[in-house]
Amino acid sequence: MRAKTAVVLGAQWGDEGKGKIVDVLSERFSAVARYAGGHNAGHTVIIGGQRFVLQLIPCGVLRKGCKAIIGNGVVLDPLAFLHEVARLRELGVAVDGQLFVSNRAQVILPYHRMIELAAESAPGRKKIGTTSRGIGPAYEDKMARSGLRIVDLLHPALLKTHIEAACAEKNAIARTLFGTDPLDPAKMYEEYAAAAEQVRPFVADSGRLLNQILAKGGSVMFEGAQGTMLDIDHGTYPFVTSSSATAGGACTGTGVGPTAIGTVVAVTKAYVTRVGEGPFPTEIHEPVGDLLRARGNEYGAVTGRPRRCGWLDIPLLRYSNQINGAEWLVVTKLDVLDELDEIPVCIGYEIDGKVTDEIPADVRGLGSVKPRYTTLKGWRQSTEGITEFEKLPKAAQDYLHFQERESGARIGMVSTGPERDQIAVLPEFAKALESMHA
């Protein structure tokens, strides 16, 4: 019998609309667990016209009776977390007894932001296009075994010693390399010791909690952050995030074993976007790119940065599905393409005159890709709000079937608008979801 679990992740460079999809699916699950990233991952959910932007907290918190768990693979800024909790309470969302934070998650402190901001702004440094929220430096400290975990945050004496030692080191680095003003360790300790007491009621052994839920017959959805092409190992390195955004991160980032993963659901837009720097083979430089950006409201939920827009990239999607073991595909923002007569789709790459469908490991190779396109017919009619696949225009169905056929994963859902109920669920996927809920 397959485990009652699903990993839901982004198949591209993030911003695929995972927040809405996780929210829609969460009514079928006992818990939703976030396994990677920090508060740079904005998930927008619109319910009855009300807009919820979640940065750290899993979307499951918006469903009554669904536990929301922040796993050990996440780096957590206590102040950002508490701000988000306060905002949810203002909106009438019950968080107490429903929201949990791993005692093993790493803590982001002000010196992480200082180092990242200084490094990104330094002359001669390669810009990655980060949000400068301290995520990368917090993961650096984690791997250097010099980080602070949530369990340590709750011990005032240990917290004080850690902040004093870290500030002595980080202030010296920032002053020497970047000319940055030093941070005050005493003030930092006072602020974070107070925050720790507010975080304390949410802290749990999340691995134990998740395994107990599964042992009792419950179901768990693992919520990815960012997207596959931003994964530290498998993405467009070095223009990537600092954590494991792929399906493998669900195990290391929560404390459940690989045999507990039932299925993987990859979320992809009907086109492609990316934020920040880095190669983007199918990026559109013509005015139609501005049309997609306007129709898709392609601006970062956290930063407001305009997203770069491009045509659907089949080699990239096939690669993503392969390394994630994706069984299902959820296609979002189909309605954004409604006005187009023709829709180019990248079906292969040409690099230095050679045709390939392999994703180059190096950025130079990916940057020199010449995409090979086929053109599919547009449908020139509204798909917004259609909730049955068969009622979509024939050309839209053909476009989706092409994506399914070429990518190696079956389409389970199609999103036709931003609202929770603007979605078409295909029968086979609905049946698979029922087995999770049983």
Please report how many Cα atoms fall inside a 13 Å half-sphere around the Cα of residue 254, on the Cβ side.
34
Retrieve residue 127's tokens.
Answer: 């810009």
DSSP class of 230: G
Retrieve residue 210's tokens.
Answer: 């998740």
CB of 77 closer than 8 Å to CB of 195: no
Retrieve residue 397's tokens.
Answer: 């169905």
Give the closest residue to 366 by CA, choosing from 376, 375, 356.
356
Residues 166, 147: Cα–Cα separation, whole Å: 9
Residues 139, 229: Cα–Cα separation, whole Å: 18
CB of 424 closer than 8 Å to CB of 387: yes
Give start and end residues of each alpha helix (H) in 296-341: 314-324
Going by DSSP bridges, is the β-strand pair 328-332/308-310 parallel, antiparallel, or unpaired?
unpaired
> Active-site positions?
15, 43
CB of 326 closer than 8 Å to CB of 224: no
